[in-house]
A and B are shown apart, each in its own frame.
Chain A
């Protein structure tokens, strides 16, 4: 394996007044990949990231700080947002949206699950004849068109895995074998096999061995919403941004909170305005703008960039900017076993069941998903609510159960679909402003009944798997409409028709020739709860095409 080159040139430094080839808003899964693709293709690139740049030395295993005090995520004090279940309600301040606010974005702290979508996911709407009352649509791409970029993502980032019986065709095997199995994986496998299901190794963007100069996973156990001290997690932060900077043509500029995309008299984007770390307004000029700010901040930025020429928000002639927000469903089944599993060690999950992936209308609803074996808890969250219902909540019985069960508990994570609905969306709050005076986002969201039915269906199968695995005690989370999300999808959907989509099949906005968008917002459907590999593949594809357009003078 050829080792990737260490930086040979210092990272570029541009002045805001320089007109760079590309300014990229956001440094997460998509932003990092596109920065690397464009800079290695010879273009000058500035990546603006609202959060700070942290090094591995600043990472920690601080569950309380991370989960309960908002370290390294969007800050509800400075940049609050509001939530309502439907348009009839008045939205209230509430932290519904959670994303990583640091160089590397949410991708820096993601769990590492890296699933491809399948051929049938790209034309699900036409195959199923649509789903009444929803905006379920086909993608303007086929799996075959995206496959080379899935492969590219797996090899350039570094993914550990092994194809399962239902996996889509692939042009190249996984670059690394699966990570070592944990007890949660063994038990998932045991229960699933007993039921005639087909468990398979989890596919993770985490090194199972040394890969391109980065070490193998050390199994410290802190992956879920934590950054990896060892750079064993294959992220934009660890892999793509260093390669982009090594070209000497890319500057990653942290603490840069983008306010607006500016447009000239000719209707072309001229750059962006942003607040720097000292809250001074700056302007970065660029020949083209690429927005990779996530499925909530991307539509907010477009809506906040409304002008006389684009009164309903930039690139929003279709009116669908912000619409079709999809969270992915997620629910857990918990189980206690006789012997210690020690799930606090190693990566979150090592085995999964994808037998229920495809939509089967005979079940009576749209949707599907996957079930993995994991823990999903750290000490504080476990002590708060990790014991079986009806357990003591204080006292000697409580203390004894904590001691006994922390090492003997696991969860079966059920990852499922969300239907795209016009009524689930990101809009601008009519009155709330953030610390910089910009309109805040307002989230309107209620899971479609099919999303809840699918979640309950997966949960019921997960409970069966747990029982079949020999659990002593099994209990299910209630399936209720979601009011908090880390997956932010669908809000600037991709499509061939400018009347019903925001970006075309190359992630160029239909309305503004030199404005591109690529992140979770591009997704037409929600995947099965693991969108990161698809976002990454779209970014590799968009990056390649944008570079081609630039070379041919087509931007």
Chain B
């Protein structure tokens, strides 16, 4: 969790003062204050209900999101991070003009689902492999392209936009959200140290 990392870092900074590190106290207070504030901001509450999308349509869009960025190799995917909640919030506000396209797109997915598996209740009830088959039919549509972009935003934008629950989207990328890091940052940094 971000908060605990920030707290650890603050503890480290305090220890650094105690150890007489070359930090002026006034500067450290500023750093500490910034860290504390950042950790407050990091606590976003995740939505559980949708407003712009009906529960049925939300289920279909959520299923589509979960095939765009599926959970693989034990890491979270778009469904786990609640990308559909970003989409719903956007459709209820600044992205309202796209709502009809989403509603029509969800209906189209359900029609195609029934054409693929007779008697299928909805796109969401297909197996992942069947869903992928349907998606390949609509890959080039503006609807799919819009959902792809929104799924990405819902997975990777700050949790305050409605998705990326607990920064899980960032974790799937290997991005730790910390306000402070220390060198070495990556695998190859060591080469520079060896050379000198």
Contact = CB atoms under 8 A, between A and B. Distances in A.
With a 10 A CB-CB cut-off, give which of B77, B132, B185 has the most chain A CB atoms: B185
A160 to B, nearest CB: 14
B185 A182 contact: yes
A220 B181 CA distance: 6
Interface in B135-181: 135, 139, 148-149, 152-153, 155-158, 160-161, 169-170, 172-175, 177-181
B69 interface: yes
B158 A183 contact: no
A321 B24 CA distance: 48
A186 B188 contact: yes
Which of B27, B72, B139 counts the most chain A CB atoms within 10 A? B27
A237 to B, nearest CB: 14
Given A57-B37, A230-B34, A406-B173, A341 B70 contact: no
Please tell me the size bucket of the interface on B. Answer: 35 or more
Contacts of B155: 383
B119 to A, nearest CB: 26
A406 B175 contact: yes
Contacts of A87: none
Given A182-B185, A218-B180, A379 B24 contact: no
B156 A379 contact: yes
B73 to A, nearest CB: 7
Interface stretch (A19-27, A207-215, A443-451, A528-536): A207-215
A337 B188 CA distance: 10
B175 A344 contact: yes
B19 interface: no
Interface string B67-100: 1111111010100000000000000001000000
Nearest to B161: A64
A396 B24 CA distance: 50
Interface of A: 3, 56-57, 60-65, 68-69, 180-187, 189-190, 209-210, 213-215, 218-221, 229-231, 337, 339-346, 379-380, 382-384, 393-396, 398-400, 402-403, 406-407
Interface of B: 22-24, 26-28, 30-31, 34, 37-38, 41, 67-73, 75, 77, 94, 132, 135, 139, 148-149, 152-153, 155-158, 160-161, 169-170, 172-175, 177-183, 185-189, 191-192
Given A62-B161, A69-B94, 14 more contacts: A183-B187, A183-B188, A209-B22, A213-B26, A213-B27, A214-B27, A229-B37, A342-B187, A379-B156, A379-B170, A379-B173, A400-B72, A403-B72, A406-B174
12 contacts: A63-B156, A182-B183, A182-B185, A186-B188, A210-B23, A213-B24, A219-B185, A339-B188, A379-B170, A395-B132, A399-B70, A400-B72
